[in-house]
Amino acid sequence: MSTRSEPTGRPAGTDDATPSADAVARDDRVLDALLGLTDDDIRYDDPAVQLLSAWREDIVADEIGGTGSPSGRPPQLPRIRRSGPAGPAPDRSRPRRAARARRRSGRLVLVTGFAVLAAGGFAGVAMAAGGAAPDSPLFPVTKVIYPDRAAVAEHRSAAAADVDDARKAAKEGRDDDARRYLADADKHVRHLPDDAARTLRRKADEVRRGLSPSPNGAGAPGLTPSLTPSPNQPSPQASDTGSAEPSPSDSSAGAGNTSPGGEDSSSPEASAKAQSSNERNSDHGKGHHRDDAEQ
């Protein structure tokens, strides 16, 4: 049986005083077919019936405890979708996609976390390397990140080691070794800032004062070359030639030095000779001798 819903053709908005039985029955069959109460094949040519059908479908869609069928009757025993035997097959792909998305999200969180930790760790290492000493495990990092600081630290460490070696050699009576160590320390001290250089020079001077007079005039307090730089020119006494050998007794006077050969270093010839020799052989600048001589 086919039921065709058709407009009645009556004026819009008018209520029939006496509607025809056929029209009433036809509309009743249309609605029954719309609800699935009959097996009639209804064709929705009627715009009003089309709208009613859409409205009906919207109502029963996603119905809680309902059939989910737009044209189905209300159930005698409503099927519960989660456990109903005739319920829709569960979608397995979406949970898997969700799980994959969660795993990807987890990996992203891990990678981001490691990146943050690495960045934070690198910043911490860089900060710690700023004050690392040459014997520190972080010193290679310091040499890369702070090359200037690393150079200063290396010179400071080398100068301190030379001064310590010089002190040890002086205690053991190896004055020549001590002087050589002090000369090496002086090379390193030149690269240090003023504060660090002043401390090391003071320590070096303390060691130097304890040395016996050297054959070349170095090592005796007041006469040996000091690590302290001086703008003045060196005194004429210092010489490694032996021609102007300083005498401890004469050191305070700064004059009257006598060479082993009996020459008086205060003479013009001796002074000129000593100065010439000093200029040729001095390793550490020429302005140190006068300060020590003045002491």
> Under the rule (CB under 8 A), what is the footprint of another protein?
7-8, 10-16, 19, 23-25, 27-28, 30-32, 34-35, 37, 46-52, 54-68, 73-78, 88-91, 94-95, 98
> 189 with 156: CB under 8 angstroms?
no
Residue closer to another protein (CB basis): 73 or 100: 73
- φ, ψ at 264 (rounded to 5°): -85, 115
Token pair for residue 127? 């900060």
Tokens 């919207």 identify what position? 58
Residue closer to another protein (CB basis): 57 or 172: 57
Separation between Cα atoms, residue 154 and residue 248, nearest integer Å: 36
CB of 10 to another protein, least distance (A): 6
- φ, ψ at 2 (rounded to 5°): -120, 130
Token pair for residue 73? 């009757």
CB of 110 to another protein, least distance (A): 24
Token pair for residue 124? 């911490």
- SS3 for 40-96 is CEEECCCHHHHHHHHHHHHHHCCCCCCCCCCCCCCCCCCCCCCCCCCCCCCCCHHHH
- The DSSP line for 269-287 is HHHHHHHHHHHHH-SS-SS
Distances (CA, A) of 278 to 234, 237, 250, 282, 289: 8, 9, 19, 5, 10
CB of 108 to another protein, least distance (A): 21
Residue closer to another protein (CB basis): 25 or 144: 25
- At 204, the amino acid letter reads A
What is the separation of C-alpha 101 from the centre of its chain, rounded to a whole number of angstroms? Answer: 31
> 204 with 182: CB under 8 angstroms?
yes
CB of 24 to another protein, least distance (A): 4
Residue closer to another protein (CB basis): 56 or 143: 56
Separation between Cα atoms, residue 198 and residue 228, nearest integer Å: 8
Residue closer to another protein (CB basis): 28 or 279: 28
Residue closer to another protein (CB basis): 20 or 281: 20
CB of 69 to another protein, least distance (A): 10
Residue closer to another protein (CB basis): 31 or 126: 31
CB of 97 to another protein, least distance (A): 10
CB of 85 to another protein, least distance (A): 16
H-run or E-run covering 4 = strand 2-4
CB of 91 to another protein, least distance (A): 3
Residue closer to another protein (CB basis): 48 or 109: 48
